[in-house]
Amino acid sequence: MRIILLGPPGAGKGTQAKAMARRLELPHISTGDLLRQNVSEGTSLGKQAKGFMNKGMLVPDELVARMLSARFKQQDIKKGFMLDGYPRNLAQARTLADMLKDGGMKIDAVIYLDTSESVVIQRLGGRLVCKSCGANFHIKNMPPKVKGVCDNCGGALYQRADDNEATIKNRLNVYEKEVSGLIEYYRKAGLLQRVPADEDAPLVLDKIVKLLQRNNDFSKV
C-alpha cells in the first residue's frame, strides 16, 4: 500500500504517518526527516538545504527529488510506504508520479489532514522531538513522562529550529500558496480523502483507519 499524507505543517502528518507505518508494517518516508538527517550529518545536500529550512522556505525541488529518488531505490519500499512531507507543490506531485511510474508503482490513497490554523500554531509552538528516534511530543497536549526525555527510547527531546513563531508563519504561507493546486490534482485523480484532524492524535488515527477500511480491502489496517 502506498499512501501520501498531506496537510499543513502541524497537521500531525509525522505522528499519523509513524503510527500508520507501524500498524501496516510499512516504511515511513518523511522528506523533512531525511533533510534534517542530511543537515545534522553535514552532507553537501544538508549544507544546501539548511538555509531554506531555517527560513521556513521550501528546499529547491530538484534537491529534494534527488534525495527521494535515492530513497525509492532501497529495497524496503517494495512493499509500500507512508509518504509524509512530499509532494509540497504541483511540480513535486508530477515528479513523484514519474518516479513511481519508472518503478512500476502507483499511489493508492492521499489522505488530507484538514486542520484549522489556530490548532496548527498551538501544536507547532509546543512540539518536542526526540533526537534519537524522532518521536513527537507536545509540551501541553502530549507531554513526556519525564521532562526532556523520550518515553519510547530515553533520548533527549528538543524543539525544532523552524518551530518558532516567525518561521511557522512563513511555513504556513508557503503551504497555503501551494496546497490548492495539489489538492485539486489528487482530487481529479480520485485519490483524495479528507480527514478532519483538529482532534487529538489517537482519534484522528482512528478516523484514518476507518476510512481506509471502508474504501479498500486492507486486511492489516
Residue type (1 letter), 7: G
112 lines the binding site for ligand AMP (CB under 6 A): no
Enumerate residues 161-190 that contact ligand AMP by CB under 6 A: 162, 171
Q: Which of 55, 160, 187, 194 is catalytic?
A: 160
Q: How far apart are CA 98 and CA 215, in angstroms?
A: 25
Question: Least distance from C-beta 131 to ligand AMP, angstroms?
Answer: 15
Q: How far apart are CA 177 and CA 213, in angstroms?
A: 32
Catalytic annotation present for 171: yes
User: Is the distance from CB of 10 to CB of 205 less than 8 angstroms?
Assistant: no
Q: How far apart are CA 152 and CA 130, in angstroms?
A: 9
Q: Widest CA span of the chain, in angstroms?
A: 47
Catalytic annotation present for 71: no
Identify the residue among 15, 16, 38, 92 touching ligand AMP (CB under 6 A). Answer: 92
Q: How far apart are CA 195 and CA 25, in angstroms?
A: 22
Catalytic annotation present for 187: no
Catalytic annotation present for 88: yes
59 lines the binding site for ligand AMP (CB under 6 A): yes
134 lines the binding site for ligand AMP (CB under 6 A): no
**Which positions lie near ligand AMP, rule CB under 6 A?**
9, 31-32, 35, 52-53, 56-59, 64, 85-86, 88, 92, 162, 171
